[in-house]
A and B are shown apart, each in its own frame.
Chain A
Amino acid sequence: MKLEELRFGTELLKRGFASMQKGGVIMDVVNADQARIAEEAGAVAVMALERVPADIRKAGGVARMADPAIILEIIEAVSIPVMGKVRIGHVVEAQVLESLGVDMIDESEVLTPADEEFHIDKRQFTVPFVCGARDLGEAMRRIQEGAAMIRTKGEAGTGNVVEAVRHMRNIMGEIRALQGRTPQEITDRARDLEAPADLLIETVRRGRLPVVNFSAGGIATPCDAALMMQMGADGVFVGSGIFLSSEPERMARAIVEAVNHFEDPAVIAEVSKGLGEPMRGLDIHTLREDEVLQYRGR
């Protein structure tokens, strides 16, 4: 087969990669040891970071892409895909992660945005992107920019699932509400949502987002993870919830089990026994407005 006949980085390869993560758990890790624990527990991929979101919150200041040395150490440690986070709109951080061999880039509100007007033009890249969204309009805009996967934002680093629930319901509820509408009516709604009309029409016809839709931001227990799956998530990201719990290995395995058997309360009960302390968690209402990460990028 001649090399010029091969096509790399196509939309289908990007979305296909995301599809292979479906039904899985993607875990935040900050070093090779944690990455191996995540892989061993059955994670479908890991997110390589310098700090988990709860620690980013605590540290304050400008949060940036992780040190490439940490990302490479994690890439070396596991055979499952490795993802990395870049600041919203930071094209060069994304180029750097792509050159390191990261399998998917998360353009993430957990880091301090580099551009408050524009997101990255993700179609220019060979590797696929995942982006956060709080509602259907935001999801549509990110997909239009080339995101191959959406994750509902939730509120990262809080261990509180309430915002993840709100955002998943926003998206799924809006799609349900548009079922049975005519293309003209959907186009009208697209203007309110600031979404591309053709993409919204396709989404309503399918009854779901045209890309994989994970849940993120506040999942701290097996029950939280299963709750998001029952609400229609294709899988979950768990950030601080695993390695800030008292027994990360058991928590990681339990969350994987709960996602696999999200409709089976007996299994979820079994895996939830004696897991130790989940991460401490924050009441969203105690956050100052500038501490709320989900408002970054829209």
Chain B
Amino acid sequence: MSEHLDAFANAIRTFGSESSIHAVPVRRPEEITGLDALAIPGGESTTISRLIDKNRLYKPLVEFEGGIFATCAGMVLMANKVDDPRVHTLGLMDFSVRRNAFGRQRESFEADVEITGLDRPFHAFFIRAPVADRAGPDVCITARIDEGIVALEQGRHMALSFHPELGSDPRLHIRFLKNCGLV
């Protein structure tokens, strides 16, 4: 979570010091009220899914009207279909997702990925990453590699199977803030 807070702070700084946007951590349902956008970080989707249910965050998340920036396990939670019945996904985007699609940690990798709308490749970190196999007509697929779809957008939401927050390239965080109309 702290990596996303830093990455958004970094992205926001590129708009200059007059920017009024700031990033805050969210753990409880009442903390969502009044926010313009949310990020769902990586981790274990089974664990995060359980925390969302346990902390009564499911309904506030499904009803949230702003954009959601979801990476890795976050992407799994955004899907409306997942290969693991223990994950209670939010279903906010129309795609099917496969958990740990590349295998175990030794198969985690970094690579340059072409992403629609970016002028040069994005250096991406895939850590026990998921991929999407199917996306509905309202979903825009922005990156695909041999194993499947690794970046998608639907409305203001963005789902990525890799971790832009671990690198220093702010372009996807900036694009998300723009999609949300915040800059």
Q: Is the CB of B1 within 8 A of A9?
A: no
Neighbour of A1 across the interface among B3, B84, B104, B145, CB < 8 A:
B145
Verify if A43 is at the interface (C-beta below 8 Å from B): yes
Do A12 and B105 touch across chains, with their CB atoms under 8 A apart?
no
A43 near B166: Cβ-Cβ < 8 Å: no
With a CB–CB cut-off of 8 A, which chain B residues contact A81?
Answer: 44, 104-105, 128
* A177 contacts the other chain (CB 8 A): no
B145 touches A103 (CB 8 A): no
Q: Which residues of B contact A1 (CB under 8 A)?
A: 111, 113, 145-146
Pair B44/A80 contact, Cβ less than 8 Å: yes
Contact partner of A103 (CB less than 8 A), chosen from B2, B111, B128, is B128
Q: Given A13-B127, A127-B105, answer yes or no on A20-B54 (Cβ-Cβ < 8 Å).
A: no
Contact of B166 among A19, A44, A260 (CB under 8 A): A19
Measured CB to CB, the closest approach of chain B to A30, in angstroms, equals 21
Nearest CB in chain B: distance from A69 CB, A? 18
Contacts of B47 in A (CB 8 A): 24, 42-44, 80
- Given contacts A7-B111, A24-B43, A79-B46, whether A16 and B104 have CB atoms under 8 Å apart is no
Assess the B50–A42 pair: CB atoms within 8 A: yes
Q: Is A39 an interface position by the 8 A CB rule?
A: yes
- In contact, A39 and B105 (Cβ under 8 angstroms): no
Decide: A16 and B127 in contact? CB cutoff 8 A: yes
B51 interface contact, C-beta 8 A: yes
Write the chain A residue with the least CB distance to B162. A16
B106, A12: Cβ atoms closer than 8 Å: no
* Chain A binding surface, main DSSP class: loop
CA distance A175 to B46 in the complex (A): 35
Size of the A side of the interface (Cβ < 8 Å), in residues, is 36
Q: Is B159's beta carbon under 8 Å from chain A?
A: no
- Would you call A103 and B104 a contact (CB within 8 A)? yes
Interface contact A257-B2, CB-CB below 8 Å: no
Q: In the bound complex, how far is the Cα of B112 from the Cα of A1, in angstroms?
A: 9
Once bound together, how far apart are the Cα atoms of A13 and B126, in whole Å? 8
* Cα-based distance from A44 to B2 in the complex (angstroms): 17
Judge if A124 is at the interface, Cβ distance under 8 Å.
no
Q: How many A-B residue pairs have CB under 8 A?
A: 96
Whether B110 and A10, one on each chain, are in contact in the complex, defined by CB atoms closer than 8 angstroms, is yes
Q: Which residue of A lies closest to B103 (CB)?
A: A101
Answer yes or no: A5 CB below 8 A from chain B CBs.
Answer: yes
A16 touches B163 (CB 8 A): yes
Whether the pair A12, B104 counts as a contact (CB closer than 8 A) is no
A13 to B109, CA, bound (A): 7
- Bound-state Cα–Cα, A39 to B105, Å: 18
Residues of A contacting B167 in the complex (Cβ-Cβ under 8 angstroms): 12
A170 on the interface (CB 8 Å rule)?
Answer: no
B178 within 8 A of A: no
Q: Which residue on chain B has the smallest CB distance to residue A83?
A: B105
User: In the assembled complex, which residues on chain B have CB atoms less than 8 Å from the CB atom of A59?
Assistant: none
- Specify which chain B residues have a CB less than 8 angstroms from the CB of A6 in the assembled complex: 109-111
| Closest partner residue, chain B, to A257 (CB atom) | B54
The 4 closest A-B pairs by CB, nearest first: A103-B105, A6-B109, A101-B104, A1-B145
Known: A16-B166, A24-B44. 6 other contacts (CB 8 A): A8-B107, A13-B127, A42-B54, A80-B47, A101-B106, A260-B51
List 21 A-B residue pairs with CB atoms under 8 Å apart, sorted by A's residue number.
A1-B146, A8-B106, A10-B110, A12-B167, A16-B108, A16-B166, A19-B42, A22-B43, A23-B1, A23-B43, A24-B43, A42-B51, A42-B54, A79-B84, A79-B100, A81-B128, A102-B104, A103-B128, A127-B106, A260-B51, A261-B27
Residues of A participating in the B interface, judged by any CB pair closer than 8 Å: 1, 5-10, 12-13, 16-17, 19-24, 39, 42-45, 79-81, 98, 101-104, 126-128, 257, 260-261
Q: Which residues of B contact A (CB under 8 A)?
A: 1-3, 27, 42-44, 46-47, 50-51, 54-55, 72-73, 84, 99-100, 103-113, 125, 127-128, 145-146, 163, 166-167
